[in-house]
Amino acid sequence: MEKTVKRWFPIFVLPCLAAFLIAFVIPFIMGVFLSFTEFRTVTDATFVGFSNYIRAFTEDRLFLQSLIFTVKFAVISVIGINVIAFLLAMLFTRGLPGTNFFRTVFFMPNLIGGIVLGYIWQVIINGVLYRFGYSITSSPTYGFWGLVILMHWQMIGYMMIIYIAGIQNIPDDILEAARVDGANALTVLFKITIPSVMPSVTICLFLTITNCFKLFDQNLALTAGAPANRTQMVALDIYNTFYSRSGYEGVGQAKAVIFFIIVAVIALIQLYLTRRKEVES
């Protein structure tokens, strides 16, 4: 059978393969190559070695500053979102009537796009700060916490749904057995519930970490980096390097490669660590 299927390669694989090559593979390879060159329009590239990578850090402090901002933002958001989402999931799996409706409400913000979310929160945060004579662009602290709140509002419901599915998959007889053996609520939580939902933890951490690092739309709409690029995250800094100043395309591409490596390494380390916990349980 395999042989007959093989002959159908052009119909089954070619459309998907061609699109994948055009949209991803070729741009990716070109991107790596161009990061070692200086160029304006791709065709005029001249090889410059690692100088773009050096310029990414030495020309100004923006890239480093945005990296630090992104890491701080990601650490706080990933922990906050996952802890709150897990607690809500515990709450919603206690069999209280009417919880389905609330589940729906909590998930809704996740369907709203990043640009729209950014402007929604801009109005609210500015409305609160206005009473004290400030706005969200008065200080980078406001923009930072604004992004943290926005991200929580957007992602808690999503992660909660995944944790609920994980908790519901725990077989009742294990919980029953634990109770018969006299385990208290905390023991059940740490010895049974959390180890059993490790597959959900893996995927939730992966989604929150990658989404926090890659955040762009929300950042652009909420503060656009103001004041003075101090609330600019890595993705926005790369965008501005490419499109707001001419002659920096190579530097932008080098920053993008560094960004890619950071995201990939963090995601792989996280998957390795949490997957190992899954096997143990």
Beta strands in the chain (DSSP E): 37-38, 46-47
Of the pair 140, 249, the CB lying nearest another protein is at: 249
Question: Residues 214-243: x/- map of binding to another protein (CB under 8 A)?
Answer: x-xx--xx------------xx--xx--x-
**What is the distance between the alpha carbons of residues 237 and 244, in angstroms, rounded to a whole number?**
10
Question: Residues 186-215: x/- map of binding to another protein (CB under 8 A)?
Answer: -------------xx--xx-xx--x--xx-
182 lies in the site for another protein, by CB under 8 A:
no
Quote the least distance from Cβ 258 to another protein, whole Å: 10
Write out the two tokens for 163. Answer: 């944790």
Write out the two tokens for 84. Answer: 């709150």
- 115-144 residues near another protein, rule: CB under 8 A: 115-116, 119-121, 123-124, 126-127, 130
Q: Could you tell me the end-to-end alpha-carbon distance of the chain, in angstroms, rounded to an integer?
A: 40
Name which of 267, 151, 260 is nearest 206 in CA terms: 267
260 lies in the site for another protein, by CB under 8 A:
yes
Burial tier of 201 (Cβ tally within 10 Å: 0-12, 13-18, 19+): buried
**What is the distance between the alpha carbons of residues 158 and 129, in angstroms, rounded to a whole number?**
29
184 lies in the site for another protein, by CB under 8 A:
no
- 161-180 residues near another protein, rule: CB under 8 A: 161-162, 164-165
**Residue of 67, 143, 259, 274 interacting with another protein (CB under 8 A):** 259
Q: How many residues bind another protein (CB under 8 A)?
A: 95
